[in-house]
A and B are shown apart, each in its own frame.
Chain A
């Protein structure tokens, strides 16, 4: 097997073997999906209209933003990256391969949600399943980039939790996952536009379900792609192999640039 295949195989299995990753990749999002399906289905039947994309975005955020960043910090602090470095493992592989495996885990969870939401909770099926899959992959790529970037710039696991929650919690409340964006006050709607989850929800609505969206869904796809690419590029630029951070080439504050595509989106869309 090639180095890539070995690395991918190991990281994919880690997503199942590691209890915290298993929880955040599978158990937490699927448990939340079932709970929301029964609870919201009876309280607010309108929720089922956005249930599939909302629960897929939730699964993506759980796996990539809550699960991955602390693994980057822990590996750096435990000297794992140093072992990797002296054996020629590149920084790109260290960041990209776990992200790729996160995308695969997300696709599995997304498929479970998409296939069961109709029979279990009478959720409508997407008009364009390929668009649903494509936007799922793109959103997972974008959030995996942000998750990796948070891990790279955070000094310790507590800081990763802070940064991750700063994106995760507003995404839950404002991106359209729980409350339609049209119902948000103007100020909160503007704030929602700096969150990747908002663009994902808009893209799902417009392209996978063929419903009217409040933002141009194609532009949302472009912004998600740009945000993901920028997050990964910054992650690699700011990557440090150990706690002394001697190898970091630029100041970690530059990570804020990862939000630039969303800021442009907020201004233009």
Chain B
């Protein structure tokens, strides 16, 4: 196995009395999309900023390819592309100027193809201050990719984007991964992380509370499968019978929702009951818990502690 693209060991960052990051360790493999998830204030952005060389850690070590961010920032900035969560460009800077400006600082030719790919061809002469939030974020991404960096950091990349732009960005991220680029994605969008990330780490109060593939993380939860049923006469609704392996039930928008630890017998028993009651099944859905549900479970449990 090749060396990881990113190695973080016991990373610590403190602001006064606040421990923003409290000694976290993880590796990111080359060509991997790695998601950093967590509620506001969990330490995602601080972790990213330490990795990007924008903050000096108070402890621990970071290695990005062959660069140490705090000691070799110049080397680092040619290896990484960064779309910051809170950043901007000068309001009077035009789209084509921004591409030329940053490409020149990286010593590469401007990438007009990236501007076209990100839907900015028609805005080449528009000033940054005249762009919509979504267009500004797409320009920031185009600039981050201009020098074809092997590692890319994306902090809330789809915030403010419409559905079409979001889908286009997801496709671009998949392409970059296939080309061997390592992507670190900090996001609040669990569906996005579940869809794109090879592995995710969930941060809470500056600590990693779980790390793994989205499937591994959802599998390590309470183990419920959600079975949602809707029938013509509502025979499984209120005062319905109990079904095997069901730990919890609720009613939601005309559906009876059962949380089962063994969905096979549960579904069989529900169908048998509906037929026995001369009722008719309208809809039946069997869903594994999503990353979002698992995330909420983890953060609520830890919050209660």
Contact = CB atoms under 8 A, between A and B. Distances in A.
B130 to A, nearest CB: 12
Contacts of B97: 10
A80 B91 CA distance: 10
A83 B140 contact: yes
Given A86-B53, A86-B54, A86-B80, A80 B101 contact: no
Residues of B in contact with A, size category: 20 to 34
Interface residues of A, number: 26
B231 interface: no
Contact of B82 (A14, A78, A86, A242): A86
B77 A1 contact: no
A6 B100 contact: yes
Interface centre among A1, A17, A87, by most chain B C-beta atoms within 10 angstroms, is A87
Contacts of B107: 3
Contacts of A242: 54
B90 A80 contact: yes
B84 interface: yes
Given A80-B90, A82-B54, A83-B89, A3 B104 contact: yes
B55 A246 contact: yes
Given A1-B104, A3-B105, A75 B55 contact: no
Given A79-B87, A246-B55, 6 more contacts: A1-B100, A7-B101, A18-B91, A82-B84, A83-B143, A244-B15
Interface string B115-127: 0000000000001
Interface in A69-110: 75, 78-80, 82-83, 85-89
29 contacts: A1-B100, A2-B104, A6-B105, A10-B93, A10-B101, A14-B90, A17-B127, A18-B92, A75-B90, A79-B87, A79-B88, A80-B88, A80-B90, A82-B54, A83-B84, A83-B88, A83-B89, A83-B140, A85-B54, A86-B52, A86-B53, A86-B77, A86-B80, A87-B102, A87-B105, A87-B106, A88-B78, A244-B15, A246-B55
A14 B54 contact: no
Contacts of A17: 92, 127
Contacts, number: 74
Interface string A213-250: 00000000000000000000000000001101010000
Nearest to A80: B88
B117 to A, nearest CB: 19
Most buried by B among A13, A85, A88: A88
Nearest to A2: B104
